Structure 1
């Protein structure tokens, strides 16, 4: 077993990396600590131990057992207590999930603070099989059935292909002390029911077959297929997704580009793109191409919104678009969505007028401070006793309901609308220069 782990670390070129070992005091983690002490320079090893304040009768035993080994081997030892039960009640989640969230957050923070390459966990083959069954009984897909990976961005699980029996045999042979967590024998959690009842019964009934090995091979195959599908999806995603550098939206997809991919199940590709944003109902993507412009779907947590906008599918944050900026004097200003604007007086004698690029306003009619805000339904101004409704101009120019939300207006100090500042040029002609007065030049870099 020692040789297996050494070969793994050699193969992955990890022997000289820095590791944070998550050690609970159970047999798996104590064997993990023993093997890493034997294989690595102790300066490259640190240990993190959690106290979840659940099984208080065992707290001191676990702490003392781990601390003594770390002290003897001059290994950095981190210890943290958590109010797990209080956290689980607050978040309305199980104690097991609460403990998982708390410890992983702490581990990641330690990794970042002390520049560890990997957090090392003692999950073994039996844990992987249990996870396979847990996800099988839940609403999951290939992602869940592929179970636990050996290596990921932050995590290393060197025991993932080693059975629990092999770990226990190693511990006995090498006289390693460990403490059993009695909560592992209480069949009140789904994992414990699978571990203590379902898997033993399967092994008993199907004793002629090498069940654990076969399930593990299935998991390995599922991981290979998942990686292939993931890479394929990423290939197609790169062809159709547009990200907005001005932060008006998170991403958008041109529907004609999606259809030009000529792949079956466009809805599934959309589902995989938007799943991480909380859109986990594939029925949404059966409808998205058929709904009218302006219609939308909210994510499960209502944080995000998918909007159909003509030939586009757009993902935005589900927030009210309210923006107000005070312009106290002449000068350059950077406003929302990285729009840059400039107000300055110009010399009439040296000016070549470019009415397509710039807006020229009569300085005598401009009264600072000015204001910039987003367009609102009902906005208008009066010119020659005629009411000019801005939304009517939007409709004539086929500005979509989505784009309207990101059009901004310049207002005089009396809050009268002067002009739009992006997307479409709409000007209140009361403020245009007559070339006989000082002129304020306004131009937009967007």
Structure 2
């Protein structure tokens, strides 16, 4: 019966011609998985990957011996990897379980990429799915966590996810499949083991007449459907309000008026779902963001990203400002950033060009190469008749926001004296203005 279910699943999803990497631990679930896939596919379509996390002190890897013999007998390609899991967990300051998960999945995906497998096949069963539901229920999670494990996700395939443990064990016994029980599963030192060994048996034994296992499974299926519906709805709204930046000034921005034009009653939740994957998991941020002043910002939990309010916009940027430091050795064309090119030319005095706002005109006799271009930084100034001209004061006078200041660049003489800004706003050190001499000019406009 179990074999027919899996074969029907394979045929229904048109997977017969795919290549699979099976993650086999040696436990009953994965050994049954290997047996069924070996019957359905020829050995060219399947390979096996087995990990040793070196957590148990036993020098003999019984799991390895069992899996290797089966692969050798059936001419199945076999990959084996040992990990220094305890050392990794100490360095990364992570639990043993999370460390093992990171190490094995990284290895699986490297194998997938190297050998062009279509899917990594995992042996999670119905009880694993219910355990994951309870684990996420006890943690700070939302619908994403409660929907538990899917059959398909990111090239991962779980054909046993709706199959009960009893059905798997019965199949193993009937087909004389050998397996090795992991004794670490009996130790209640991990949350999953406590749920597996204590909480779930207690619930099932005391509430058996309510068909609890089946009801929880149906609840998970319903949550997955609701999650998919909400995800599609959010993607629909995202297309209407998000503007991505091709020039790398920011990651994306949301026009507040476009957001309000959606005429929905849950702006905060929509923003929360949009920014959640960037490390903003406190919905209180999005209760405030529409009402804060320009320049105010919030940092993500990992400090990598920043949400900044800029006039009528909510903007996502990297927290670390991209530093520009470019040497200009001579007259010519130079790319500063993706959308900003400057073309320095030497010309004779020309009244039309001087009065054209598209150009910056400088006294060539005062220019000493090499020149430099860098970001504006707080505290920048130049002297005009011994008077200190602070550039930031000019920004404030012209209502340049703190966000816009991040992307204003300065041209410096070879002695690092500030000559002028080269974009966004036209600020020129008057010491470099003398229109009776030859002029060094460059285009002031940025490309769109």
Tell me which interval the TM-score lies in, with the shorter structure as reference length. Answer: over 0.9
Structure 1 position 414 matched with structure 2 position 415: yes
Find the residue that maps to 1:325 and give its secondary structure: strand
Whole-Å separation in 2 of the counterparts to 1:205 and 1:354: 88
Unaligned runs of 5+ in 2: none
Matched, 1:22 2:26: no
Measured in 2, the distance between the counterparts of 1:103 and 1:160 equals 20
Q: Distance in 1 between matches of 2:439 and 2:242?
A: 43
Task: Tell me the equivalent position of 1:256.
Answer: 257
Counterpart for residue 73 of structure 1: 74
* Correspondences of 1:45-444 after superposition (within 5 Å): 45-57=46-58, 59-320=60-321, 322-346=323-347, 355-383=356-384, 387-432=388-433, 434=435, 436-444=436-444
CA contact (8 A) 1:360 1:433 kept: no
What CA distance in whole angstroms lies between the structure 1 residues aligned with 2:107 and 2:57? 20
SS of 2:294 mapped into structure 1: coil
**Which deviates more, 240-249 or 170-179?**
240-249
Q: Is the 8 A contact 1:381 1:388 kept in 2?
A: yes
Aligned CA distance change for structure 1 residues 346 and 73 (closer, same or farther; 3 Å):
farther
Contact 2:119 2:155 in 1 (8 A): yes
Q: Structure 1 residue 243: deviation in Å?
A: 1.6
Instruction: Tell me by how many angstroms 1:342 deviates.
Output: 1.8
Residues 54-81 of structure 1, C-alpha deviations (whole Å, 9 max, x = no match): 1242752111111111112221111110
Residues 182, 58 of structure 1: CA spacing in aligned structure 2 closer, same or farther, 3 A cutoff?
farther
Please report how far the alpha carbon of residue 358 of structure 1 lies from its aligned counterpart in structure 2 after TM superposition. Answer: 2.3
Q: Is the 8 A contact 2:307 2:316 kept in 1?
A: yes
Preserved contact between residue 326 and residue 369 of structure 1 (Cα < 8 Å): yes
DSSP 3-state at the match of 1:50: strand
Report the TM-score when normalising by structure 1: 0.95
* SS of aligned partner of 1:294: coil
TM normalised by structure 2 equals 0.94
Secondary structure in structure 2 of the residue aligned to 1:208: helix
In structure 2, what is the Cα distance between the partners aligned to 1:242 and 1:201? 51
- SS of structure 1 residue aligned to 2:178: coil
- Alpha carbon RMSD of aligned pairs, Å? 2.0
Contact 1:23 1:49 in 2 (8 A): yes
CA deviation after TM superposition for structure 1 residue 431, in Å: 2.5
Q: How many Å apart are 1:139 and its aligned residue? A: 1.1
